[in-house]
Amino acid sequence: MRHISDLHIHSKYSRACSTSLDIKNLEKYARIKGVDLLGTGDFQHPEWNKELKNNLTEDETGILRTKSGFPFVLSSELSLIYSDNGKGRKVHNVIFAKNFDVVEQITEALLKRGRIDYDGRPIFGIPCPEFTEMIKEIDDDIEVIPAHIWTPWFAMLGSKSGFDSVEECFKDQSKHIHAVETGLSSDPEMNWRVSSLDKYSLVSFSDLHSFWPWRLGREATVFDFKELNYGNILNALKTREGLAETIEVDPAYGKYHFDGHRSCNITLSPKESMKINSICPMCKKELTIGVDHRVEELADRSIGYRPKDAVPYRKLIPLSDLITGVHKVGIATKKQWSIYNSLQDAFGNEMKILLETPAQDLARVVDEKLVSAIIANREQKIRVVPGYDGVYGVPVLDDNQEFVEQKVEDMQPVRKKIQTGLDEFF
């Protein structure tokens, strides 16, 4: 049985998250999206922990359920900020636990090293190897997954504070790492270029900060096994047995795919950025080096390489983004919701609409342009103008072509100067 999972999420107690991000809304919008397994996020936060215990029932399977039966896995994300070999490191890790007893022991261990009540994603000055050893001593079934591994600022392989490999980051504790999270700005094909990652399963989750369907499940990992339990999830991560596929956004959609400076409205490909030593042509400060550039630095394989045992994946732009692009409306507007809800009422959850519903059926509910966008999305034919330095990428659709072309045109003077050489800048 297939389970579309989003196991890296947050609660209303994490910074920059919706104050309505509770179990009720998570379950409601997961069903709307077509996600049928969620992580809890933030399990060590005192107030969220109380809400989890009041709303979820655990049993021997390691899966917690709401009163209506919707399943959750105990999960959290922790920020580890420390110094290693004279360099400041900032690494986020997602962890899973099989029951509340284990969570309490993790919480007790963390309290000895700092506070847990100020943020659902707290910061600790614990090196990754020490952290992993500490929690594996609590319970060997705790799983540690390096989060969004390529993101510049807070990731294992990030350009600003990361390492060059899992082994360099986790040292002797790398034996306990079985999977890594690709993040929005990379996809499996990009990760396949780095041979040192071959031994690790690639997973994708949303890292949501709100429950809306353009956030929840925008990236997901699909498991396929007869019985949903914590042990089968761990086994899938370790052996890839039951790891069916991942669902990804186009990596260009992510906020850190290309190099750039948001404040200067500058975005450059790795090749363009390298020509000017990654210095912003406007303010002369260092550009934020994006994921595509960082992968290129560590890659030892050519573009298009695919390992023999690679788990398949597919790229999908969220339905809400398609509606807003085609109809030129805001993502949370009444018109967007009206179209979204009409599709859901007719065909079920968003995943069914994006992946399964025939074009002729869609055409009975929405206009031809949106049908074309949904089918192009399904066939992975939508081009995306890359995101950079915290700015999301923009899907190119017929009705926003003029806007996108203007965005590209604005960069042409900069790109022309880059082609003429560094003298234009220094």
Q: Spell out the CATH class of 2-253.
A: alpha beta
Q: What is the DSSP letter of 294?
A: H
DSSP 11-63: -TTSTT--TT-SHHHHHHHHHHHT--EEE---TTSHHHHHHHHHH-B--TTS-
Cβ neighbour number for residue 413 with a 10 Å cutoff:
10
3-state secondary structure 400-417: HHHHHHHHHHHCHHHHHH
User: Would the CA dihedral through 261, 265, 267, 273 be positive or negative?
Assistant: negative
DSSP 202-213: EE-----SS-ST
Find, among 171, 130, 188, the residue nearest to 313 by Cα. Answer: 188
Q: What confidence score (pLDDT) does residue 326 get? A: 95
Q: What confidence score (pLDDT) does residue 407 get? A: 55
User: How many residues are present in the chain?
Assistant: 426
Instruction: Compute CA distances 337 → 212, 328, 345, whole Å.
Output: 11, 13, 12
Domain residue extents for the chain? 2-253
Q: What confidence score (pLDDT) does residue 177 get? A: 98
Cβ neighbours for 276, distance < 8 A, ≥ 6 positions apart:
268, 418, 422, 425
Per-residue pLDDT of the chain (426 residues; tens, 9 = 90+): 999 999 999 999 999 999 999 999 999 999 999 999 999 999 999 999 999 999 999 999 999 999 999 999 999 999 999 999 899 999 999 999 999 999 999 999 999 999 999 999 999 999 999 999 999 999 999 999 999 999 999 999 999 999 999 999 999 999 999 999 999 999 999 999 999 999 999 999 999 999 999 999 999 999 999 999 999 999 999 999 999 999 999 999 999 999 999 999 999 999 999 999 999 999 999 999 999 999 999 999 999 999 999 999 999 999 999 999 999 999 999 999 999 999 999 999 999 999 999 999 999 999 999 999 999 999 999 999 999 999 999 999 975 556 555 555 655 565 555 555 444 433
3-state secondary structure of 391: strand
d(CA 179, CA 199): 8
d(CA 367, CA 323): 11
φ, ψ (nearest 5 deg) of residue 183: 80, 165
Q: What confidence score (pLDDT) does residue 422 get? A: 43
What burial class does residue 324 get, using C-beta atoms within 10 Å of its C-beta: 0-12 exposed, 13-18 middle, 19+ buried? buried
Q: What confidence score (pLDDT) does residue 415 get? A: 54
